[in-house]
Structure 1
Amino acid sequence: SGFFLDWARGFVLYSQIMVGARTRTLCVYHCAGCREILGDSLTLTISDTENRRLALKRATSVEVSVQQVKIVKGGVEDGAAYNDLTCKRCSLNVGKMYLKLPTEVELLKGLYSLDLDAIQIYRLGDASREGGEGHLLDQDNMITALQMVVLALDKRISK
């Protein structure tokens, strides 16, 4: 279960991991503006469809805009302090990093809270996409691209 790398026959990526007796589809989260990879479901902590956000423990290609702390006024997050999260590649605002939260939603503190309207979700293994517009690589193209990266890294290591 999980990821399996077969060096003799090439790169094989399994799209599901076992979680107890159930399986969970692996997803990759992309910026809706430039398709830069922002994170994946292995670090997913909270999926909040009511408020249209996903919260990740770790993210990549995301900058925390620390220049200005913003405060939420009203609603369940009233008084919450946060910094904007922007895509490093295209500077699109993709979510928030909460610094201070009311007790009811304190679980979001310190997590990368991605706005579902600012990202695309690619499910590994079924070549489907959700979220914004645009074309994502199908599974075969993704595997080919990953093979090229693995071969390039292998050449660097072998030198």
Structure 2
Amino acid sequence: MAGHINTHDLSRDETYIVSESSSVFGGTGGVGDDGEGDAPAVFMCGKCRRPVGDSLSWAGSDDRRNEILLKRVNENIVIGKEHFVSSKRQELGCLVRDLSCGGCGLTLGLVYTSTPKALDYKRSLFCFSVEHLESYVLGSGGQQVAALSREDRPVTFEYQEDVEQQITKIKSLAVTIGQRLLEIEVDLQCKSEN
């Protein structure tokens, strides 16, 4: 995730962060108790598994509403064209737009375009419902290294140099053995003539 090409970006100069704590769905990239930083996570649609964003654009989380907030998402997110007033009791007066997956159409969350003061921290952020997302942490323990036999390994410069050194040693050994056999053969011929 080096950069975001063709991304939606609704971030503002000032962003309120609800929670920067690490969770199953990302983190801030801070240092944990073990001294190592959190690995980046990729967030995917819970239905079709298309990637929709990553933890490099993390803005926080709202544990009470079971949401994560991102500053940017990729081109797999479709932002609804129509604004509507949120019908949730705790969000009365909020003007929002749907966020849906560009692959399967599943509604994944909301973008708040107008909020009361208590919800200003959500304005212009991509708010995803955790129950509609899957996540994948880069470098997670479930990964396996392919066990390649010597015949299946790709030829690299280091490998090629190693093979050439071994061939040179084998040639030198073969020449030495050949010379020794020649000496033995000459010795045997001399003994048989006498």
Give the 3-state SS of the residue equivalent to 2:131 in structure 1.
coil
Rg: which structure is higher? 2
Greater share of helix: 2
Do structure 1's residue 67 and structure 2's residue 82 form an aligned pair? yes
Q: 2:63 is aligned with what amino acid?
A: T
- Identity, % of aligned pairs? 25
Q: Is the 8 A contact 1:72 1:81 kept in 2?
A: no
1:125 aligns with 139
Give the 3-state SS of the residue equivalent to 2:118 in structure 1.
helix
1:105 aligns with 119
Greater share of strand: 1
Deviation at residue 116 of structure 1 after TM alignment: 0.4
Q: 1:67 is aligned with what amino acid?
A: E
Deviation at residue 73 of structure 1 after TM alignment: 4.4
2:71 aligns with 57
Q: Is the 8 A contact 1:124 1:139 kept in 2?
A: no
Distance in 1, Cα, partners of 2:101 & 2:53: 11
Q: Unaligned stretches of 5+ in structure 2?
A: 3-26, 147-194
Q: Given the two structures, how large is their TM-score scaled by the length of structure 1?
A: 0.64
Cα 1:105–1:120 shift into 2, 3 Å: same
Do structure 1's residue 25 and structure 2's residue 9 form an aligned pair? no
Task: State the Cα RMSD in Å.
Answer: 2.8
Q: Unaligned stretches of 5+ in structure 1?
A: 4-15, 129-137, 142-159
Cα 1:119–1:140 shift into 2, 3 Å: farther
Distance in 1, Cα, partners of 2:127 & 2:68: 6
Deviation at residue 79 of structure 1 after TM alignment: 1.1
Distance in 2, Cα, partners of 1:88 & 1:71: 22
Give the 3-state SS of the residue equivalent to 1:95 in structure 2.
strand
2:94 to 80, 89, 92: 80
Deviation at residue 22 of structure 1 after TM alignment: 6.0
Cα 1:106–1:139 shift into 2, 3 Å: farther
Q: Given the two structures, how large is their TM-score scaled by the length of structure 2?
A: 0.54
